[in-house]
């Protein structure tokens, strides 16, 4: 017998048998691919369900944390806003309060022959008002009286109070004058 086989079918029948063969091969391939896809889908189902459960739990935990943090953050923000409002109100008040440096500069700019100033104290009293105390030593009563009068004549000082007891000594008189006014130049 010969190893070579001869096909005795006509050419159109050979072509139709070939088409049927490839059609069957394609159907088996598609069915095999569909079967593999279904098997993989079934095997992925537990992983999908597990991940969906985890996402649900984490979403719930995130929502709980968000509500907890939102409450504490709102409280913290409201405390900070209140502190900022208080600071801004304080700064707004400071714009109308007399400045100590301007008051000391104005008082020391006055002529004061025979007067040696040794101490200053300055305290804002009300809005636009302040109290300043000047301490020092006057060489004579006349120098002290002249200095007190020059302070009282200044427009930024409403009152200059010197106790009468300051005039008790004749020379080297220690004094303390209390000045009140806006000290706005």
153 three-state secondary structure: coil
Closest listed residue to residue 123, CA positions, set 176, 183, 166? 183
Residue 2 scores a pLDDT above 80: no
* pLDDT at residue number 18: 92
Instruction: Point out the least confidently predicted range of 13-17, 21-25, 65-69, 179-183.
Output: 65-69
**Given this model, what pLDDT does residue 185 score?**
64
Stretch 150-169: mean pLDDT: 86
Per residue in 62-96, pLDDT (tens digit) is 888 888 777 777 777 778 888 888 888 877 777 77
Taking a C-beta distance cutoff of 8 angstroms, is the pair 32, 24 a contact? no
For the cut 60, the answer to whether the pLDDT of residue 100 exceeds it is yes
Q: How far apart are CA 104 and CA 72, in angstroms?
A: 48
Give CA–CA dist 61/53, Å, rounded: 12
Phi, psi of 129 (to 5 degrees): -120, 155
Backbone angles phi, psi at 35, to 5 degrees: -65, -45
Alpha carbons 85 and 91: distance in angstroms, whole number: 10
Evaluate if residue 12 carries a pLDDT over 80.
yes
What residues have CB less than 8 Å from 108, skipping those under 6 apart?
117
Q: What is the pLDDT of residue 126?
A: 66
Tokens of 184: 């706005």
Proportion of the chain above pLDDT 90, given as a percent = 39
pLDDT of 137 strictly over 60:
yes
The DSSP string of 39-85 is HHHHHHHHHHHHHHHHHHHHHHHHHHHHHHHHHHHHHHHHHHHHHHH
Q: Does 1 have pLDDT greater than 60?
A: no
């Amino acid at each position: 017998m010969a190893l070579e086989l001869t096909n005795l079918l006509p050419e159109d029948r050979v072509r139709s048998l070939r088409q049927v063969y490839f059609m069957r091969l394609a159907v088996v391939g598609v069915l095999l691919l569909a079967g593999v896809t279904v098997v993989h889908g079934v095997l992925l189902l537990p992983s999908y369900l597990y991940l969906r459960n985890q996402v649900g739990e984490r979403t719930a935990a995130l929502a709980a944390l968000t509500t907890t943090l939102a409450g504490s953050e709102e409280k913290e923000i409201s405390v900070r806003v209140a502190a900022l409002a208080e600071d801004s109100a304080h700064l707004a008040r400071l714009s109308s309060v007399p400045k100590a440096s301007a008051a000391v500069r104005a008082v020391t700019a006055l002529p004061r022959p025979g007067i040696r100033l040794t101490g200053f104290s300055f305290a804002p009293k009300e809005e636009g008002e302040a109290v300043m105390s000047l301490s020092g030593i006057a060489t004579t009563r006349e120098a002290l009286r002249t200095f007190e009068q020059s302070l009282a004549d200044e427009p930024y000082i409403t009152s200059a109070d010197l106790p009468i007891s300051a005039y008790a000594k004749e020379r080297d008189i220690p004094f303390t004058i209390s000045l009140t006014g806006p000290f706005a130049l």
